[in-house]
Structure 1
Amino acid sequence: FPYLMFSFLALLAIRRGSDVIRGWQQAGWALLAALLLYASYGTRTIGIALPGALLGAELMRQRKPGRFVMLVLGVFAGFAIVQSVLLTSPRGYMAVAHFSTTSVLENVASYAKSLSHAWESGFSQAAQGGLTVVFSRFAALAFWKRFREGSLEAFYVVIYLGILIAWGAQIGVRGLLPVLPIYLTYVVLGITEAVERWKKPKARALVAAVAVCMAITYFGGLRQRPWQAALANVNDTSAQELFTFLRSRSQPSDVLLFSKPRSLALFSGRAVGSLGAEEPAGESVRFVRENGVRFVIQSSWTPAAYDQLLASGQFELVFGNEDFRVYRVGERVE
């Protein structure tokens, strides 16, 4: 994943640059960090969490930004402004985002459930949930300690998750991947710190329990079927037919609705929104109406929210192949 690579390289460059004292070396690290911050932001708009985390962590530690941080943020801001003027801006994402207290609460529950897949067990969902709770408590202990110390990574996790949860769409475990390595690191750090505080018998028992739980988690997963039905990808004939239809039969200003918005936006050249996996039909209808959605794209692997939406209003089937169906939104969707 390009965003994952750029974001962690940016975090590394900031750490290295912050330790450099000599002016020209510090300026070089600042330029590299700014380029990587911009690459992260250019790849995914949520990358704005990185410069926000840099500023927040700096203010926590020193009360005012130092020269290195100001240089990094200044160069990054220059690149971002040039992009917004000459190329594109995040307004397209904001146009199809929908904010509400209900959606925030639903996103918290959805992403908590998605996090449990990091500890997926081959035996039961109860075991998976239990492991998630236990390991997340260790991660929380390590996170809180580092947040109070002004850790850049801790601030990044807070801002990234804040944006992810506040944004109306749900993208499941894919949305958590950019911060999942930090979460797993905090789990290890939390366990290590707990072992250091406890007496040896307790520490050994804890390590043994963790080892058993990890073995159950991963060896249990091997009992599952190693194959799944392949999902359509952008090189398939059916996907190419979909892109051709949308480019020829829709207007550049039309808004589309699909469960993989970024991929479809890239290959169709249209603004694309998405629904939460378990979003109520009423919320989906409101989103379609308020954002002027013109076409809804459905496949065999889109979430149930799309089926509920299509069953709730006037939609006309205008395209179909073995993997995709395209529905035109009627004049009155209720």
Structure 2
Amino acid sequence: MKNISRYNFFFTVFIIFITFIFCLLNHKKGHNWGGDFSLYIRQASSVLNGTIENLVKSNSFTVQESSDHTFSPVTYPWGFPSLLTPVYYFSGLNYSVLKIYESIFFIGFLTVFFFSIRRKFNWIYTLCTITLVGFNYNYISYTNRVLSEFPFMFFSFLTLHFIKKLEVESKTNLGVQLPVAIGLLIFFSFYIRTEGIVLLFTLFIAQAANLKGNLKVDLFNIKQCLKLIIPYLIFLACYILSKAVFPTGFTSHFGYRNLVNLDRTITNVIFYKNQLARSVYPNLPEWFFWATIIFFLRGVVFRFRTDKAFLVFLASIVTVFLVWPFHESRYLFTIYPIFIYFVLQGLRTFRRRSALRWIVASIIFVYLGLTINQTFQATIDSFRNRADVIDGPESGPSQEMFRFIRNRTSPSDVIIFFKPRVMNLYTQRNSLMVYNDIENVRRKGNYLVIYSKAGKVCQLFLSPKEMSLNSNFKSIFKNNDFTVYKILN
């Protein structure tokens, strides 16, 4: 049995290692235009340079004066920028290093996820679950971006793992170390992404369920009650301390609550259903996706009593994403592993029926094969094009334009650009995204930068002829992708 256990562990380590190699092989030079990454990096830089106040002032101006005020908070939660600071300190704006850092968090999540589910399956199902998540190309391709999803997944699932341990240890002699660790982890998950607050609710429900089934807990015993509330006290203390150290600009997220309505929720339901179907496998017929939903629901029923933490966390975070007025496919990253886990739990319930055993095995085998094949083919294509630079701020024309802005404009100038946070990062100039009115462009900016490939996306796009007829705009720089106009007032 020890040899079997050793082989199981070896295969799991091998799968996780291969996942890491796939991540590295899919990394390309540069970064996409995005925008979120630039604010994360600027926040990390401001921590190192002691310029947090300047950052808040600059990005407040960018958000408040742009045509769209909802494209960015004043600052993101400071957890992820804090994680970036040591890497940024030693490597600077080196995307290759930052992407490896992202990959390490993804691998860390897979490791935590393995330890969370290994006793809930036999080793074959555990290995299949880790493979389906780790080899999913959506995850692998996203390690090519500097975003907070993978650190959030790592700390969230580590918290869930410890909450499960709390359920077990509360039936014996519970010490204070575990409640303290859970409080710290919940806070830091929240400090990476605000939806991490649902972990507090997950903990509360898990504790309530334990109290109901654990007659040894004496609620009139001060020591036992204190152990129950330690995580909440730690969370509150950390939050108060963080407010004293960092500005809470990320709470501007809550100003969007007036945008919450039924129509947006319905739109989100349709969007996430389609995105989840693509995550399962993009080229399979829709009936296959609905079949996985049936298996998922069967798995939920089968594990309802034993996987309370997973289920409460899943239900809570799905609710947040459905009512939140914005949607992104990457928001599903935290949901998909739990979804796949319950799908396989649902399939597992059929194994006792010999007539269905081979059908279940065939479904899992086909799904694994398709997932691995998709990632393998995409990795080959990516490796063949590894010398290419991503169309973004690191491309040759972009770097040429940024150099011009740095050298030919003054620090007090305002640059109108379709990605103002990226302009801030690369040129240290205040920048606005203004696209609704040419008079607003003229009134608010000193320079206008037009990116030809973006068309009318987030920029006032006029043809060179139209611009030449307007005496307020003078072309002073042009390359293959960009035209820079000086605004004459």
Using the size of structure 2 for normalisation, the TM-score is: 0.48
CA–CA distance in structure 2, aligned partners of residues 195 and 83 of structure 1? 50
Assess if the C-alpha contact under 8 Å between 1:14 and 1:33 holds in 2: yes
Assess if the C-alpha contact under 8 Å between 1:120 and 1:217 holds in 2: yes
1:97-152 superposed Cα distances (whole Å, 9 cap, x missing partner): 6312111111111111111232225xxx4x25333222232122222444466701
With over 3 angstroms needed to count, the CA separation of the structure-2 counterparts of 1:132 and 1:22, relative to structure 1, is closer
CA–CA distance in structure 2, aligned partners of residues 160 and 147 of structure 1? 17
Gap regions ≥5 residues in structure 2:
1-149, 213-218, 437-444, 462-471, 485-489
SS at 1:35's partner residue? helix
SS at 2:350's partner residue? helix
Q: Which runs of structure 2 are paired with 1:246-265 in the superposition (5 Å)?
A: 249=413
CA–CA distance in structure 1, aligned partners of residues 483 and 211 of structure 2? 55
State the partner residue of 1:307: 457
With over 3 angstroms needed to count, the CA separation of the structure-2 counterparts of 1:183 and 1:323, relative to structure 1, is farther
Q: Which runs of structure 2 are paired with 1:22-171 in the superposition (5 Å)?
A: 26-60=175-209, 62=211, 68-89=227-248, 90-96=250-256, 98-121=259-282, 125=283, 127=284, 129-147=286-304, 151-171=308-328
Assess if the C-alpha contact under 8 Å between 1:49 and 1:160 holds in 2: yes
With over 3 angstroms needed to count, the CA separation of the structure-2 counterparts of 1:241 and 1:309, relative to structure 1, is closer
The amino acid across from 2:293 in the alignment is: S
CA–CA distance in structure 1, aligned partners of residues 301 and 325 of structure 2? 27
Assess if the C-alpha contact under 8 Å between 2:167 and 2:210 holds in 1: no
Q: How far is 1:80 from its partner?
A: 2.0
The amino acid across from 2:317 in the alignment is: Y
Assess if the C-alpha contact under 8 Å between 2:299 and 2:346 holds in 1: yes
The amino acid across from 1:208 in the alignment is: S
With over 3 angstroms needed to count, the CA separation of the structure-2 counterparts of 1:100 and 1:15, relative to structure 1, is same
The amino acid across from 1:107 in the alignment is: N
Assess if the C-alpha contact under 8 Å between 1:140 and 1:190 holds in 2: yes
With over 3 angstroms needed to count, the CA separation of the structure-2 counterparts of 1:301 and 1:129, relative to structure 1, is farther
The amino acid across from 2:167 in the alignment is: S
Q: Which runs of structure 2 are paired with 1:208-219 in the superposition (5 Å)?
A: 208-219=362-373
Q: How far is 1:46 from its partner?
A: 1.1
SS at 2:328's partner residue? coil
Worse-matched range after superposition: 41-50 or 212-221: 212-221
The amino acid across from 1:3 in the alignment is: F
Worse-matched range after superposition: 154-163 or 221-230: 221-230
1:176-208 superposed Cα distances (whole Å, 9 cap, x missing partner): 112222122111111112333xx2012222222
Give the structure with higher Rg (CA): 2
State the partner residue of 1:195: 351
Using the size of structure 1 for normalisation, the TM-score is: 0.66
Percent identity between matched residues is 17
The amino acid across from 2:272 in the alignment is: Y
Residue 185, structure 1, aligned to residue 185, structure 2: no
With over 3 angstroms needed to count, the CA separation of the structure-2 counterparts of 1:212 and 1:266, relative to structure 1, is same
Q: Which runs of structure 2 are paired with 1:16-27 in the superposition (5 Å)?
A: 16-20=165-169, 26-27=175-176
Residue 207, structure 1, aligned to residue 361, structure 2: yes
Q: How far is 1:266 from its partner?
A: 8.8
Worse-matched range after superposition: 28-37 or 211-220: 211-220
With over 3 angstroms needed to count, the CA separation of the structure-2 counterparts of 1:16 and 1:149, relative to structure 1, is closer
CA–CA distance in structure 1, aligned partners of residues 170 and 186 of structure 2? 21
CA–CA distance in structure 1, aligned partners of residues 362 and 458 of structure 2? 47
Gap regions ≥5 residues in structure 1:
274-284, 286-293, 327-334
With over 3 angstroms needed to count, the CA separation of the structure-2 counterparts of 1:151 and 1:189, relative to structure 1, is same
CA–CA distance in structure 2, aligned partners of residues 168 and 35 of structure 1? 29
SS at 2:175's partner residue? helix
Assess if the C-alpha contact under 8 Å between 1:38 and 1:76 holds in 2: yes
The amino acid across from 1:171 in the alignment is: E
May I ask how many residue pairs the two structures share in their alignment? 294
CA–CA distance in structure 1, aligned partners of residues 209 and 362 of structure 2? 37
CA–CA distance in structure 2, aligned partners of residues 5 and 264 of structure 1? 31
